[in-house]
Amino acid sequence: MESHSEGHPRTPPIDRNRELLKTAREEIYKTVGGVNLSAYIWEPEMDKAPSYPKSVAAFFFSSGWDNGQVAQFAPHCVYFASRGMTTICFDYRVSTRHGTGPVEAMADARSAIRWIRMNAVELGINPGKIVGVGGSGGGHAIASSAILSGFDDPSDALDCSPAPNAIVLFNPVMDTYSKYAFGRDRWPDQATCKAADLIRAIRPGLPPMLIMHGTGDRVVPFDGSYQFARKSSKKKNLCRLIEFEGQGHGFFNFNLSFEMYEATLMAMDELFVELGFLEPDPEAGLGKVD
């Protein structure tokens, strides 16, 4: 039987997320150990941009601190730029590319938020309306920038706050220290592992937070998000947990399920409107990303 590919080189499949990443403006936000770390920036079109300084959403890709794709949240960035926000995908250090671990990822997330604040005028954004968004290990990194102290890059401007003003997390690593914790062996020592545990660090006055987690997640246990949201709410923080029944790790990704992507995107949009970071959407429909 003749193969359709015989004599005809196969065209590699299009990675839509990577193609969308090419539509962003790339800037270097940090250089560390000879490595340049990039920020990929989308600006709203003139007719979509507000007349006042814009809110900004900073995205940190899912990882187990070992790998991941900076293009993961490109569809989210394109959508929220169309809603009038400045959106940014940040690269950060991971073990497969940089030989690093979770401590370096935490430091990079803090550096990224500081970079936004220190460049607020040039970016045309409101430094008091920064949303940090992250998945899995990237979720831990950005959440830790608001909850923990002591994980800064010493070259940062330490007088500038690294805490975002709101946080959205997808199947995040909240528990780093219990016997059920994901990636407990990836920390340099047990003292650091314990110090990085977000559940233990809950206190009043945390930024508003939305957590979305599949109950069927076999990589990062759902219980970590449940325990965090329950305890944070008891401290009078706004911490909203949306359970996605039976969904596994990464259920929200655009290239996995448009239905789940749309549902999580709408939950984010509603929160941003509620917090005054976005104007209500008069069309109220998301539509697919081309």
More confident residue, 129 or 48: 129
Q: How far apart are CA 266 and CA 272, in angstroms?
A: 10
- Is the pLDDT reported for residue 127 higher than 90? yes
CATH topology of domain 25-274: Rossmann fold (3.40.50)
Comparison of pLDDT for 215 and 10, the residue scoring more: 215
Mean pLDDT for the chain? 92
Q: Which residue has the tokens 């407990």?
A: 184
Q: How confident is the model at residue 256 (pLDDT cuts 50, 70, 90)?
A: confident
Inter-CA distances, 185 with 5, 99, 144, 245, 274, Å? 45, 15, 18, 29, 39
Q: Does position 150 have pLDDT exceeding 80, yes or no?
A: yes
- What pLDDT is recorded for position 281? 82
Ranges of each domain in the chain = 25-274
What pLDDT score was predicted for residue 5?
40
Long-range pairs for 37-40: beta carbons < 8 A, 24 or more residues apart: 37/90, 37/91, 37/92, 37/93, 37/108, 37/111, 38/70, 38/90, 38/91, 39/88, 39/89, 39/90, 39/91, 39/112, 39/115, 40/70, 40/74, 40/77, 40/88, 40/89, 40/90, 40/91
Tell me the pLDDT tens digit for each residue of 244-255: 999 999 999 998
pLDDT beyond 70 at 129: yes
The pLDDT score that the predictor gives to residue 284 is 57
Report the percent of the chain where pLDDT is more than 90: 86
Q: Does residue 6 register a pLDDT over 60?
A: no
Q: Is the pLDDT of residue 11 over 50?
A: no
Q: What is the mean pLDDT of residues 209-234?
A: 97
| Sole residue written with tokens 């770390």 | 37
